Structure 1
Amino acid sequence: MSMWPVLRAVGAGLLAVAWAIASYFNSASGQASGWGAALALAPLSLVVGLGLWRMRPRWLAAGLTLGLVGLLALLWPLLSQRIAVLYFLEHMGVYSLLAVFFARTLVGPGESLVTQMARRVHGGVLSENQQRYTRQVTLAWSVFFAGMVVVSVGLFLWAPLPAWSAFATLLGGPLIAVMFVGEVLVRRRVLPDEARASLKETVQAWRVQRSEDEQ
């Protein structure tokens, strides 16, 4: 068995932890910093860069890249002066998109997001209890991400900056992990006799669903 996937996962995890710690001290200080602005924009820049890399035709991707670089250079003096605001907008934007990503599948006659993922994992066959439960899980994740946005806004407006920074940069990942583990424990009680998906199967289903939504 190749160790490369394990090493890659460990490396990505360590990089994420290092980014979170550096981002906490960077955003909590409230001081202007060009390096701080670059650190704050790094995740978004990576996502946008990957999207542009996959875009066709190439001339359009190149044009958009030049335009974004030019806009970034124009706004850089302002961005480097508003580090905390930059982190806040990025944090609120990510969790707002996640809330919409889950909640939009609860509207209309189609299946919810978690139901679609579960159907992939279980070969297209779900019991009535599984369909009802996975829809409830989709709602739970929607409320969770929306709650993260509400708490983030409240802390940013009324709490000391270090308190908001700790929530936004250090607690996001652990809270998602707690939510995920809690859902697994609840599922074992609610659906004790149903076939269970492994973590690997769940991650694969999530990747397939995300790639389809990006097309």
Structure 2
Amino acid sequence: MSLSPGQLLRGLAVVVFLAAWAFLAHTGSAGEGSGDLAVLLGVAPIGAALGLLLWRSSHPALTGTGILAMLGGLAWYWPTLRENVALLFFIQHLGTNLALGALFGRSLLGDGEALITQLARAVHQGELSERKRLYTRQATLAWTLFFLGNALISAILWLLAPHPVWSIFANLMSAPLLAAMFIGEHLWRARVLPPDERPSIAQVARAYRMRNRQPGPATDLKTPQPPANPS
């Protein structure tokens, strides 16, 4: 599949942005650079996630009150956060990986379908071969172990290693590890699934958006878009 110059530029911009973010997060965790910028980088993902949850609430009063409370608490604790930047990034990294591990892992419990199986079913409009169903369940388990393993290593390094060492793993190695996981899953998928059962990323994204726009019962998939490629 060929990419247009615009797509290449957007992809390059994303890579540069993520690399700059990781570098600034690392220097902030190591106690270098601007403390205010480090706190902003640390709270931005958490604040964005909480803000999105509040924004999607059907109660405007709750949304407004929650956002004001969040901003007020952030302003109140800002000086404390400036003195504990490394701890802030540790909580962010640990919490993100635990949340994603729970998101994937809980779908493996009980009689329901695994998360990636649900997404793959949306891509294939409900039709899945037994081979595809088995692969998507195993892929869900692999991503669960990946995120929980990241959380465990992060906690061990935080407790036993110098903070700069932990920061190298959490801030500088996160993107390469995630890329390696994507590549590994792609190679695994190419080995066990025929071409007609491996849709493109664009098809996956399109099917996921259409799935979320459709009204349905509470049991329908209504989770944030995970980083795994379900195809």
Contact persistence 2:122–2:208 (CA under 8 A): no
- Tell which deviates more after alignment, 94-103 or 196-205: 196-205
Query: What residue in structure 2 maps to residue 97 of structure 1?
Result: 99
Query: What residue in structure 2 maps to residue 59 of structure 1?
Result: 61
Q: 1:44 to 1:5 in 2, by over 3 A?
A: farther
In the alignment, the residues of structure 2 paired with residue 46 and residue 134 of structure 1 have an alpha-carbon distance, to the nearest angstrom, of: 29
TM-score by length of 2: 0.82
In the alignment, the residues of structure 1 paired with residue 182 and residue 118 of structure 2 have an alpha-carbon distance, to the nearest angstrom, of: 17
Partner amino acid, structure 2, of 1:26? G
Query: What residue in structure 2 maps to residue 166 of structure 1?
Result: 168
- 1:72-106 deviation line (CA, Å, top 9, x unaligned): 22222211111100000010000000000000000
Secondary structure in 1 aligned to 2:197? coil
- Tell which deviates more after alignment, 44-53 or 122-131: 44-53
Partner amino acid, structure 2, of 1:114? I
Q: 1:14 to 1:114 in 2, by over 3 A?
A: same
Partner amino acid, structure 1, of 2:157? L
- Tell which deviates more after alignment, 44-53 or 147-156: 44-53
- Tell which deviates more after alignment, 182-191 or 82-91: 182-191
Alignment of 1:130-149 (within 5 A): 130-149=132-151
Query: What residue in structure 2 maps to residue 29 of structure 1?
Result: 31
Contact persistence 2:132–2:197 (CA under 8 A): no
Partner amino acid, structure 2, of 1:135? R
Contact persistence 1:92–1:149 (CA under 8 A): yes
Contact persistence 1:102–1:139 (CA under 8 A): yes
Of all paired residues, the percent bearing the same amino acid is: 40
Query: What residue in structure 2 maps to residue 184 of structure 1?
Result: 186
Q: 1:205 to 1:95 in 2, by over 3 A?
A: farther
Query: What residue in structure 2 maps to residue 74 of structure 1?
Result: 76
In the alignment, the residues of structure 1 paired with residue 19 and residue 172 of structure 2 have an alpha-carbon distance, to the nearest angstrom, of: 8
- Tell which deviates more after alignment, 153-162 or 79-88: 153-162
In the alignment, the residues of structure 2 paired with residue 101 and residue 88 of structure 1 have an alpha-carbon distance, to the nearest angstrom, of: 20
Deviation at 1:191, TM superposition (A): 2.3
Q: Structure 1 regions of 5+ residues with no counterpart?
A: none
Q: 1:211 to 1:69 in 2, by over 3 A?
A: farther
Q: Relative contact order, CA 8 A, sep 6+: which one is greater? A: 1
Deviation at 1:138, TM superposition (A): 0.6
- 1:113-155 deviation line (CA, Å, top 9, x unaligned): 1111111122211111111111111111101100000110111
Paired residues, number: 214
- Tell which deviates more after alignment, 92-101 or 201-210: 201-210
Q: CA RMSD in A?
A: 2.6
Higher helix share: 1
Deviation at 1:66, TM superposition (A): 1.2
Q: Structure 2 regions of 5+ residues with no counterpart?
A: 213-219, 225-231
Partner amino acid, structure 2, of 1:118? A
In the alignment, the residues of structure 2 paired with residue 204 and residue 85 of structure 1 have an alpha-carbon distance, to the nearest angstrom, of: 38
Secondary structure in 1 aligned to 2:223? helix
Contact persistence 2:117–2:136 (CA under 8 A): yes
